[in-house]
Amino acid sequence: MITVILIALGGAIGSVARYGIGRLAQSRGFRPYLATWVINAIGSLLIGLLAGVYDHDTHKTSYLFLAVGVLGGFTTFSTYMVQIVNLARQRSYREASRYGAGTLAVGILLAALGYVVALRCLN
């Protein structure tokens, strides 16, 4: 039960952090999807680092709190999808395509980079 509570607490922390960064970015004049892109890129790098640090030992409570909770709440796939749909509805097809493909490519690359860096630093 303590693990579930820690995941929920981590999710709350990550979600509030995402909301705060999004609001800050919008107050500085950035488009909402750019804040989501940065959030998802940072989250991908960090979860890659955690995966490397824990290297298949992902049942530990600290991993579940940080990766599943905090970073699960921090990153957002659903908002990313809705923002692509909204860009397409605005007939910004090129921007929607770049954002959709770019987020996916950068996320995969940063997660892999984080994983490799963690493994190399620990060995």
How many domains are there within the chain? 1
Question: Which structural domain, as residue segments, surrounds residue 116?
Answer: 2-122
> Given this model, what pLDDT does residue 58 score?
75
Helix (H, G, I), strand (E, B) or coil at 41: helix
Note the pLDDT of residue 100: 96
**Is 75 marked within a binding site?**
yes
Please give the pLDDT value at position 71: 97
Contact 79, 19 (CB under 8 A): no
The answer to whether 44 and 114 have CB atoms below 8 angstroms apart is yes
Distance CA 79, CA 37 (A): 10
Instruction: Report how far residue 16's alpha carbon sits from residue 111's, in angstroms, rounded to the nearest whole number.
Output: 22
Consult the annotation and say whether 102 binds a ligand: no
Instruction: Tell me what pLDDT residue 93 has.
Output: 97
Please list the rounded mean pLDDT of every run of 10 residues in the chain (123 residues): 96 97 93 92 96 86 95 95 96 96 97 96 85
What is the structure's pLDDT at 55?
84
The phi and psi torsions of 75 (rounded to 5 degrees) equal -85, 160
> What angle (nearest 5°) sits at the alpha carbon of residue 38, between those of residues 35 and 40?
105
pTM for this entry? 0.90
Residue 90's SS3 state is coil
Cβ atoms within 10 Å, residue 28: 8
Number of C-beta neighbours around residue 115 at 10 A: 19
State the CB neighbour count (10 A cutoff) for residue 117.
15
